[in-house]
Structure 1
Amino acid sequence: MKSLLFKFSLLSLVLLMSNKPAPQEFQGQATYFAKSTMDLGSWGARMSEAQKKQIMARLKNRLEKTFVLNFNKEESVFNEEEKLDAISGATDSWGKNFSQGESYKNVKENALVQQQEFYGKQFLVKDKLQKFEWKMGSETKQIGQYTCFKATATVPTDELTWYNFSWGKLRQQAKKEGDSTNTEPEIKMTEVEAWYTPQVPVGHGPAEFWGLPGLILEVSAGNTTMLCSKIVMNPKEKIKIEAPKKGKEITKDSYQETIVGKMREMANNRGRRRSR
């Protein structure tokens, strides 16, 4: 009889444990506002203040953006909230060719998967995460309800902007190809300042940034600053966090070569039309 009662008790315990709800997966969602400045250089020196304001108004969609970072302990997905151009009422199709696409990071596997669209073609960039040698500071500041600590790093500019393009890159490459002395060009560096909070104990951050002992809430690099404006931890509706899958697989370096090659082709075609 005791044996029967013991078996019944054991069976009840097993059933109770099997019906116990599984612990909720640790998830979060952070919203970032990004603002960039633009140096109009010698071109801007010839403009009136009214003209400068007009140019900045037309470029507002490129200079001010909102992004969302969905994350769990190991993975994150970072993507821009698309909005209409304030003047034309259309999406910024030209700027889309050189802006960051949907970006998936896995900090455990040191893996990046980023979807890029370039002149109507879809690419799936697969590579390692950007390397940061962070210098930890003792300074603190409050961002919303979170106490943040400062960290800095210095990174080659081209590594941070591999999905972007500037005519300066094309000129630099042409100069390198025409240099018979094989002199290595000077590597431009970007200073990065990040503020992270250990109150959200994940190694994630916006854009390429990651690798600190807490979520990065603010980061400044070059002419762009990204600031977290909202965090939702463990939202009621489960967040889907997975890598994008569509596009031709390619590495960061190969993607940059594709961009430079296409822009060189466009420049050459434009030059031939002018010479006719």
Structure 2
Amino acid sequence: MQSYTSSFFLILAVLIASTTMYSQDFQGQATYFSKSKLELGSWGARMSEAQKKQVQARLKNRLEKTYVLSFNREESHFDEKDKLDAISGATDSWGSNFSPGEQYKNISEGSLVQSQEFYGKLFLVRDKLPTIDWKMGKETKKIGDYLCIKATAQIPTDQLTWYDFSWGQLRNENDESDEESSEVQTDMTEVEAWYTPQIPVGHGPGEYWGLPGLILEVSAGNTIMLCSKIVMNPRERLEIEAPEKGKEITKMEYKETITNKMKEMRDNRGRRRSR
């Protein structure tokens, strides 16, 4: 890592100038590897190291994922590669209900279209791209063959996890409803990103976008996502299209839908136990 210097600005100018080698309709494809830390909380404190390793192994397919981002200047398509459970050989049906689905972003229109499946029902989430207030850093490093610059941001956590659900989240909602104060504190997630001006597009993996270069690495919460491969202008033209199937809904409506369904499941389970 280095701080900005006059020589760095000269290098950066050369890098930006070199982007003219790309035509106006250039395309690219980036592969990302995502890894999350397993948070066991108070439950983990009662487990032995052997038990923790067993849980880690069984949840590996949730904690380690591979994604592919296809992009041109204005559009991108982001989706997870199919990955089988390392132990059972089957897909993780529970985890798939709360995983990000096939995602399309159009940064010129500021729009997002994302396909989400929840317990066999398909939803088509249409919404605006969230504004991210990036703070441009002064550090640089190389990721593969690309010189990258650091940027950071504070992003509302629910903006990053609108497709997800946790029982703890449900308990927090109940606690907030009991409070007399109308002030609700918004949980924020600190995000660190590394982008490269050598690929001058505003795209990035998942919810991240809006920097003056492709985002190659993102750290947020307990998850890090790192680009492991980039192919520019592949021989076969990429089809970058939005998903089309499913009930149209906004992100907020989708979040309410899955939360209400999980409350219903919890209440039904409680009634069966009380009989």
Q: TM-score, normalised by structure 1?
A: 0.90
1:38 deviates by 1.6
CA contact (8 A) 2:24 2:73 kept: no
Distance 2:184 2:166 in 1: 16
Cα-Cα RMSD: 1.1
Matched positions, count = 253
Match of 1:128 in 2: 128
Match of 2:76 in 1: 76
Distance 2:221 2:166 in 1: 14
Cα-to-partner distance string for 1:24-43 (whole Å, 9 max, x where unaligned):
83100000000000221111
CA contact (8 A) 1:133 1:153 kept: yes
Match of 1:202 in 2: 201
CA contact (8 A) 2:157 2:189 kept: yes
Cα-to-partner distance string for 1:166-186 (whole Å, 9 max, x where unaligned):
11221122223333x143332
Distance 2:177 2:215 in 1: 40
Aligned-partner SS, 2:170: helix
1:48 corresponds to which letter in structure 2? S
Match of 2:105 in 1: 105
Match of 1:88 in 2: 88
Match of 2:150 in 1: 150
Overall identity of the aligned pairs, in %: 72
2:272 corresponds to which letter in structure 1? R
Distance 2:172 2:45 in 1: 25
Unaligned runs of 5+ in 2: 1-22
Unaligned runs of 5+ in 1: 1-22
Distance 1:135 1:176 in 2: 31
Question: Based on CA coordinates, which of the two structures has the bigger radius of gyration?
Answer: 1
1:230 deviates by 0.2
Distance 1:169 1:42 in 2: 16
1:270 corresponds to which letter in structure 2? R
Q: TM-score, normalised by structure 2?
A: 0.90
Alignment of 1:9-88 (within 5 A): 25-88=25-88
Distance 1:167 1:183 in 2: 23
Match of 2:18 in 1: none
2:239 corresponds to which letter in structure 1? K
2:228 corresponds to which letter in structure 1? S
Aligned-partner SS, 1:99: coil
